[in-house]
Amino acid sequence: MMGPAAGNPTTIDRARLNGRLRTFRSAARCFVAVGSIVGLSLVFITPLWAGIDEPGHFYRAYQLTEGRLIPVEDPTGVAEGGGACLPTDVVADVEKGRLDYLAAGARDAGTFSGETPEPDLSNAIPCGEDRVFVEFATFSWYSPLGYAPQALAVGVGRLVGAPVSIQLVLARLATLAAYAALALFAIGRTPRGKWAMAAAALLPVTLFQAATSLSPDAVTVALVMVMVSSALRAADPELMLDRRTVLAEAAISCGLLALAKPTYVLLAVVYAVAFVGPRRRLDLWPVALPVLVAVAASMAWHQALSHLFACDVRFFDVYPDAGEQLSNIASSPHGFAGAVFGSVVDYGATWVEDSIEVGGRVLVWWAWSVIVAFVGFVVVGLQASDHETLTLHWSQRLVLLGSALVGLFAVIGGWLLHCSPVGLEVVNAPHVRLLVPIVPLVLIGVAPRRAPRPLDSARAELPVALALVPFYVVWLVCVGLRMH
């Protein structure tokens, strides 16, 4: 005999609604659904070569397909930093595409009319038969690891004879796929902070760089999340991983991060989360070895290639002096700390704005709408999940927030050394994409112990993450209109 609630229309409708909203009750499923749709949309609605520094990153990926792992110096010694010696027709195709995009924008602004000019390579530096030198000094000390997906896609495109424009689209898709796979891996395995990682991974600035830039930034964000998930797994008494497993995960995650972008391997200090709290794992002390090896490897790689690097602020008449700046930091650590915290005060509002707008050429919204959107992502990131097994002690929260602080000091310190004039003051704002890797650490560190209505619980009538749908519909329409 059926119970009284079995045929209740309200109960049935609620069950159907919960089933339909199932995607938005799971951080992993929500990331896959929203991230794939938004990411693929950005791949195809963003004009070719309009991604962040996209031509330079394409040149680096193309260089790798020719078997050149290290950028080369200008054969004439005129250009500063490293670059690539590439076929003239490839460079001409890229420059033609870039001019098409710039000319279209100028026509819309009413500052240009007529046909797009042909690229002029008459002043290009020859470096072989039918080859010219192209400079991308800002990216030249990155290891090949951060460009592996892009290079593989460009290589496939070259193999089948695809034009440069198709090679670019393939590289965008490969970068997005690699980013999504790594981020999903981290979200699925972490015993704490699933929604924190999903929120950071779904930020507009993160998805835009994953879908359009070809830079190592997106892969770096995902690798940081993988490393943080490994550290939290090591600290989880429910999992109680053996030492060999923890060491293997630390060696792999820290090693990969060390060969991504410089600086971020310092976030490996987050492994200290396993050594504090009521159930500390002091038996895991050997994990310090792979962490130190990864830090040393990263420093060695980037020191060896530092002569190929030159920050692009030189185009704005800013000329850094890393040696003198390092001396300033060493002689005045309190001044350095003041510069770091001062940058948060000076540029915090800009970072919030750019996390949603990415940049003025991508999107421009009213300030109130940016704030509402940013707060919405924070709320999503602070949710707890029914599938999380790790309860954080206050000392472990301090480790997470301290690790984020280490990341902030590392990013701003690197910016002062390489991209700022001499003096302990950040006079030009670092882009917020450089700070995205520390966002999950902050969100996990401050999230409540257990949300009263977890997003992936059937008790929640309307998941908070459902708000991502109307937000991204509006956001994508605005981006499409703005960039076209």
Q: pLDDT truncated to tens, each residue of the chain (484 aa)?
A: 444 445 555 555 555 656 668 889 999 999 999 999 999 999 999 999 999 899 999 999 999 999 999 999 888 777 678 899 999 999 999 999 988 888 777 777 666 667 777 888 878 889 888 999 998 888 888 899 999 999 999 999 999 999 999 999 999 999 999 999 999 999 999 999 999 999 999 999 999 999 998 999 999 999 999 999 999 999 999 999 999 999 999 999 999 999 988 789 999 999 999 999 888 888 999 999 999 999 999 999 988 888 888 888 877 777 888 889 999 999 999 999 999 999 999 999 999 999 999 977 788 899 999 999 999 999 999 998 878 889 999 999 999 999 999 999 999 999 999 888 888 988 888 999 999 999 999 999 999 876 444 444 445 467 889 999 999 999 999 998 888 7
Q: Domain for residue 126, yes or no?
A: no
Q: Domain for residue 294, yes or no?
A: yes
In this structure, are residues 34 and 468 in contact, taking their beta carbons and an 8 Å threshold? yes
Question: Could you give the CA distance from residue 100 to residue 104 in angstroms, rounded to a whole number?
Answer: 6
Q: Domain for residue 187, yes or no?
A: yes
Q: Domain for residue 90, yes or no?
A: no
Tokens of 383: 């949710």
Segments forming the whole domain that contains residue 209: 23-71+136-483
Question: Could you give the CA distance from residue 417 to residue 419 in angstroms, rounded to a whole number?
Answer: 6
Q: Domain for residue 84, yes or no?
A: no
Tokens of 195: 């929604």
Distances (CA, A) of 304 to 57, 245, 310: 20, 32, 14
Instruction: Give the burial class of 303: count Cβ atoms within 10 A of its Cβ; 0-12 exposed, 13-18 middle, 19 or more buried.
Output: exposed
Domain count, the chain: 1
Q: Domain for residue 87, yes or no?
A: no
Task: Please give the span between the terminal C-alpha atoms of the chain, in angstroms, as a whole number.
Answer: 63
Instruction: Give the burial class of 207: count Cβ atoms within 10 A of its Cβ; 0-12 exposed, 13-18 middle, 19 or more buried.
Output: buried
Name the residue type at position 73: E
Q: Domain for residue 110, yes or no?
A: no
Residue 106 CB partners (closer than 8 Å, separation 6+):
112
In this structure, are residues 29 and 22 in contact, taking their beta carbons and an 8 Å threshold? yes
Partners of 132 in the β-ladder: 86, 126
pTM over 0.85: yes
Q: Domain for residue 82, yes or no?
A: no
